[in-house]
A = this chain, B = another copy of it.
Amino acid sequence: GETEGEEQDAVPVPVVRLRYGEVADATSVVVLPVCLAAEGEEGVEAAPGWCRGEGEMGVVVAERGWRRWVVLPGWGPAAAVWERGGVVVEFGDGRVLPWRMRQREVEEGVLVVVDKAKKEVAEEGYYLVGGGGGGRVLGVERGRKLLEMGKKKALGGVVLVVRPPKEDEDYQLRDEDWE
């Protein structure tokens, strides 16, 4: 993964880009349930509330059955939400993110990793919200903006944004960069 985003110093959310085969480069992986943005609040609430590893064979057991999953490298933020109720929301359009992006990023989908235990809105965070504007069923919003609008609760806090891999070798990190 490559940490990117112009606002990194201001944004407390890591944005990483998967490399091809990267699930490969971590010494551990996490398996998280995925909702489509179109499934809205209901999808987020319906997703299993926890997943945990069981035994030494790497078997993962979820609170309840679910159809859609993603395996991510065990990056800190993803690993941290894993057992306590993480859900990934798949957005087909990068413009859901409330910060300025490069043209290329606007055109690609993103996975937003959400901590469902962080529903209390804090000024400096980013949050997954339902019933958003612009025709989106789910959205990502700055905590500051939500508080200005009087919203103190969200569906969860955004802990990581994952972008798809791209062919461009310049964007590929070496193994050492993550180990």
Contacts and interface: CB of A to CB of B under 8 A. Distances in A.
B21 A27 contact: yes
Given A31-B71, A64-B67, A71-B29, A56 B24 contact: no
A69 B31 contact: yes
Q: What number of copies of this chain does the assembly contain?
A: 2
Contacts of A62: 67-69
Contact of A71 (B55, B60, B63, B164): B60
B27 A57 contact: no
Contacts of A34: 59
A162 interface: yes
A150 interface: no
Chain A residues touching B, range = 35 or more
A96 to B, nearest CB: 14
Interface of A: 18, 20-21, 23-29, 31, 34, 48, 54-72, 90, 109, 111, 162, 164-165
21 contacts: A20-B27, A21-B28, A23-B23, A23-B24, A29-B71, A31-B69, A31-B71, A48-B67, A56-B164, A57-B162, A58-B70, A58-B71, A59-B70, A60-B71, A61-B67, A62-B67, A62-B69, A64-B65, A65-B65, A69-B69, A71-B71
